[in-house]
Structure 1
Amino acid sequence: MEEKQLGMVAQFKKDVRRRMLTGFLLILPVYVTYFVVKFLFGFVGGTLSPVIRKVLQFYGVALPKSSLDEFIITFLGLILTFISLYFIGIFAANFVGKSIINYFENLLTKTPIIKNIYSSVKQIIHSVSLPGKQAFKRVVLVDFPKAGTKSIGFVTGATQYNNEIKYITVFIPTTPNPTTGFLIFVTENDVMDSNLSVEEAFKTLFSGGVLAP
């Protein structure tokens, strides 16, 4: 009877931990979105709004500091921000823009600490924004770091050496921080389909296996 009660307590703790982690993973994207939107409005309100007001005053448009006028100025600031991002995108697509961006990227990638953060964020953004195809084609299980030990891996591509053996490239992420990991080349016979979606695999990695399907 006592063992049964202990088992029920352990199961209850496990369920609580699982539910809390599930809630955390659901709230995290919302929090990040809120933080970005808050930063954007704060930047517009604290930096661009005074500039826009001075420009309007320069052209003889003096707006009193009322709630409606503050809203109008903030709205103009948001439009200006979106237009600026659009032209930055155009600038980054031409030769001069690419050269300048590459120059500053080289500076960032040579700066201690900053280079690790910048590289990780860039890799994540690049992975989720590849046009026309998925960065991770499928989720597999592969023997790593030794035979008999299975690790979650993402198939990212295929390559062939000497027109003979065809290898697939598999990215094996670390947990709970899947932005780093190992890249290995194996044959198709060396991997096992996991029947997991990419989302399910990332939930498993972020939770350290607690949310394993």
Structure 2
Amino acid sequence: MMKRIFSYFLKGLVLVAPLIITAYTIYLMFDFVDGLLRDYIKDWFGKSIPGLGAIFIFIFLTVLGLVGESIIAKPLKALINRLLTRAPLLKVIYSSLTDLFSAFVGKEKKFSKPVMVCFNRENNLWKMGFITQESLDDIGIEGMLAVYFPHAYNFSGELFFVDSSAVKPLDMNPAEAMKFMVSGGVTRFN
């Protein structure tokens, strides 16, 4: 009984920890920058301006994004890429995170082709997903596609290699498809 309770506790912790850690990190960043700027602002304006750290962090990240897209940053990005992809453990973590972020916001968005896949022809059961790789020839699998199936109400999913004949493209907006799947089919289409 205690083992099961502890297991549920750990699962709950795993669900909540990333959110809490992210929120706490952002709080620490804002607080740190507010602390650095507080004395200077008080000297200049005669009073403290709370929240200036948040504005500064926003401006800093925006400028960083702009520099990241510029010609100046490309050699620096390439150098950092080379260094991080040479370290054995960092390579796996860094490349996985890079691929994940580029799948959502990069130039090569991976979740842009919503499809239906027939899993049981006898009962006509279908599952919605996204094609993430059109060809698996590089890993020696021919005639198959990589299709990612998000889970409802959870930021996780499953990747299946499916026969291309079992895949039916959907004529719908990818964002609407993702919203529909993640909501468990509860969301209405616009």
TM-score, normalized by length of structure 2?
A: 0.56
Counterpart selection for 1:99 from 76, 80, 83: 83
Q: How many residues align?
A: 157
For structure 2, which runs of at least 5 residues remain unmatched after alignment? Answer: 1-18
**Alignment deviations for residues 160-191 of structure 1 (CA, whole Å, 9 cap, x no partner):** 6499954332222222225321231322x221
For structure 1, which runs of at least 5 residues remain unmatched after alignment? Answer: 1-31, 110-118
Q: CA RMSD in A?
A: 4.6
Pair 1:63 & 2:44 matched: yes
Please say which structure displays the higher CA radius of gyration.
1
Contact 2:148 2:157 in 1 (8 A): no
CA distance, structure 2, for counterparts of residue 51 and residue 102 of structure 1: 36
Counterpart selection for 2:115 from 117, 137, 140: 140
Q: 1:51 to 1:175 in 2, by over 3 A?
A: same
User: Equivalent residue of 2:44, what SS?
Assistant: coil
CA distance, structure 2, for counterparts of residue 137 and residue 174 of structure 1: 17
**Alignment deviations for residues 101-123 of structure 1 (CA, whole Å, 9 cap, x no partner):** 875973995xxxxxxxxx7x766
Contact 1:203 1:212 in 2 (8 A): no
CA distance, structure 2, for counterparts of residue 203 and residue 151 of structure 1: 14
Counterpart selection for 2:34 from 37, 49, 72: 49
Q: 1:206 to 1:122 in 2, by over 3 A?
A: farther
User: Equivalent residue of 1:48, what SS?
Assistant: helix
Work out the percentage of aligned pairs sharing the same amino acid. Answer: 15
User: Equivalent residue of 1:63, what SS?
Assistant: helix
Q: 1:108 to 1:79 in 2, by over 3 A?
A: same
CA distance, structure 2, for counterparts of residue 122 and residue 96 of structure 1: 12
User: In structure 2, what is the equivalent of residue 154 of structure 1?
Assistant: 130
User: In structure 2, what is the equivalent of residue 15 of structure 1?
Assistant: none
